[in-house]
Each structure stands twice: as C-alpha cells, then as structure tokens.
Amino acid sequence: MTNEEKESKKEEKKKLKIEIGAISENKILDRKEISFTVSHPGLPTPSKKEVADLLAKSLGLSEDDAVAISITPRFGSNRPRGRAKVYPNMESMIRIEGGGNE
C-alpha cells in the first residue's frame, strides 16, 4: 500500500457520516420526524448546521424544506444521536416550533 493510499484511508475515516434510523410522518403537524446517528471519527462534534446539511443531502430534501434538529452527544463516543423534524417550508416550521426572538 502506497503512502497516498494510506492517507486516503485516513481521510476517509475522518469523514462525517449519518445513519438514518426511523422516519415517521406526522400529518397533524405537517412534518416528518427522523431519528439518526452521526459518526465523526477523528473530528469534533459537528454543528447542527453541518448535520442539517448532511441530513438534507442524504434524504434528497429540497431547499424549501426546513429542518429543526436536536443532537445529544454521548460522553466518550464519536456517535451522537439526534432527532430531526422536516417541514415542507419555513412558515410551517415557524408556526409549529416558534419564531425565536419575536
């Protein structure tokens, strides 16, 4: 194995990965609820924005979809668990989740 191949393997191990657990449809609140686990070996705990982007990419979400995320890190582990709520648009998310500093 060449040095380039070894470096490539090291970089591959340091990638942020997401494993989707359960996906359920909540028709009353007009959203999908998703449980997931994030793997980040050799990297710091990812931000909610990084996880939201990775989740959107792996689920094929459009830019109009709004995602609210909670992540629970586990001490001594590089595999935090999380839950996401995917809304069809930002207005739906604000109506249900609240608008923050309004």
How does strand 31-39 pair with strand 81-87? Answer: antiparallel
User: Which stretches of the chain score pLDDT less than 50?
Assistant: 6, 9, 12, 101-102
The radius of gyration computed from the CA coordinates of the chain, to the nearest angstrom, equals 16
pLDDT value, residue 7:
53
Return the bridge partners of 11, or none.
none
CATH 3.30.70.330 fits 3-97, yes or no: yes
Q: pLDDT tens-digit profile of 23-33? A: 999 999 999 99
Note the pLDDT of residue 34.
94
User: So what's the pLDDT on residue 24?
Assistant: 96
pLDDT given at position 101 = 46
**What is the model's pLDDT at position 45?**
79
All residues at 6 or more sequence positions from 41 whose CB lies less than 8 Å from its CB, including other chains: 13, 14, 78
What residue segments make up the domains of the chain, in order of their start?
3-97
